[in-house]
């Protein structure tokens, strides 16, 4: 079994993957993109187990070193929020000089906007780390935030990630390419996505949960028992 498939199976067995049961009594999810889906991944569940965090960060750091060699890394930057502990552990393994993170910019109306509050010495080499990405948009916004604050920083042209659902050269990641441990673009996990107007699960009577991460354990219980009512679930009107 490849390392990608091994990690994926480990993620599934660790309670980080949800699949729709096929029963219309079971709800389904809406993704950040606005599309509806019969599958969802919560990497936070996997990385919250310390042995998983240690092992995954060490494996990713070693893979990054194979590509970039022994060049010094001044900063490792994670994205909010699940990416921060993962970036910290990767940075320790890489012997980076400093670790930091981007934050959501509450001063702007755009909830996707990120800001960097760290001052970097001109010429600092910066490596971005993500726990998961579907389009590359978040790490690119992180890169933009770092350069907005530190225009003379040097961005290493790779983004380390636990899991990606897009090609290594992702459509929204224009300044780098991914180095993922789990690359879902290389095998079929059986997930589907639909525009709300043509969603077959909606047509079957399945409701759409909008706060899946907040009711994750209840959501997994429903996967095995479609009659189980998900306490705390919020549904799309």
Mean local confidence (pLDDT), 13-35: 90
What digits encode the pLDDT tens for the residues 184-197? 888 888 899 899 99
Both 122 and 69 in one domain: the answer is yes
Both 182 and 196 in one domain: the answer is no
Looking up tokens 């060699």 gives 69
What digits encode the pLDDT tens for the residues 41-99? 999 888 999 999 999 999 999 999 999 999 999 999 998 887 899 999 999 999 999 99
Both 86 and 22 in one domain: the answer is no
Which pLDDT does position 111 carry in this prediction?
A: 66
Mean local confidence (pLDDT), 155-167: 94
Both 115 and 175 in one domain: the answer is yes
Q: Is residue 155 part of a domain?
A: yes
The span from the CA of 101 to the CA of 114, in Å, is 10
Both 163 and 110 in one domain: the answer is yes
Both 165 and 180 in one domain: the answer is yes
Mean local confidence (pLDDT), 206-214: 93
CATH number where 130 lies: 3.40.50.2020
Give yes or no for residue 178 having a pLDDT over 70: yes
Both 82 and 121 in one domain: the answer is yes
Which pLDDT does position 64 carry in this prediction?
A: 97
Both 197 and 101 in one domain: the answer is no
Both 31 and 111 in one domain: the answer is no
Per the DSSP assignment, residues forming a β-bridge with 88 are none
Which DSSP symbol is given to 196? G
Both 124 and 173 in one domain: the answer is yes
Q: In the chain, what percentage of residues exceed pLDDT 90?
A: 74
Mean local confidence (pLDDT), 101-105: 91
Q: Is residue 235 part of a domain?
A: no
Work out the mean pLDDT of the chain and round it to a whole number. 92
Q: Is residue 135 part of a domain?
A: yes
Query: Which range marks the domain in which residue 68 is found?
Result: 47-186
Q: Is residue 232 part of a domain?
A: no
Both 118 and 7 in one domain: the answer is no
The span from the CA of 224 to the CA of 237, in Å, is 25
Give yes or no for residue 1 having a pLDDT over 60: no
Which DSSP symbol is given to 200? H
Per the DSSP assignment, residues forming a β-bridge with 154 are 125
Both 129 and 220 in one domain: the answer is no
pTM, two decimal places? 0.87
């Amino acid at each position: 079994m490849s390392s990608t498939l091994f990690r994926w199976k480990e993620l599934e067995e660790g309670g980080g993957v949800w699949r729709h049961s096929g029963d219309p009594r079971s709800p389904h999810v809406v993704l950040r993109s606005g599309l509806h889906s019969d599958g969802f991944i919560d990497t936070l569940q996997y990385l919250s187990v310390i042995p998983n965090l240690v092992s995954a960060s060490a494996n990713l750091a070693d893979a990054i070193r194979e590509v970039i060699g022994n060049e010094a890394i001044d900063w490792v930057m994670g994205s909010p929020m699940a990416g921060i502990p993962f970036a910290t552990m990767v940075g320790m393994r890489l012997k980076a000089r400093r670790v930091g993170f981007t934050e959501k910019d509450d001063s702007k109306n755009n909830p996707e906007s990120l800001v960097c509050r760290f001052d970097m010495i001109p010429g600092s080499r910066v490596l971005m780390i993500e726990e998961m990405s579907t389009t590359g948009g978040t790490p690119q916004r992180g890169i933009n935030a770092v350069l907005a604050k530190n225009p003379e920083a040097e961005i290493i042209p790779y983004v380390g990630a636990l899991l990606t659902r897009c090609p290594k050269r992702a459509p929204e990641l224009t300044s780098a390419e991914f180095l993922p441990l789990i690359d879902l673009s290389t095998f079929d996990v059986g997930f589907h996505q639909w525009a709300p107007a043509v969603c077959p699960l909606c047509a079957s009577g399945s409701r759409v949960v909008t706060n899946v991460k907040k009711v994750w354990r209840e959501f997994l219980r429903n996967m095995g028992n479609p009659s189980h009512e998900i306490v705390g679930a919020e549904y799309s009107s």
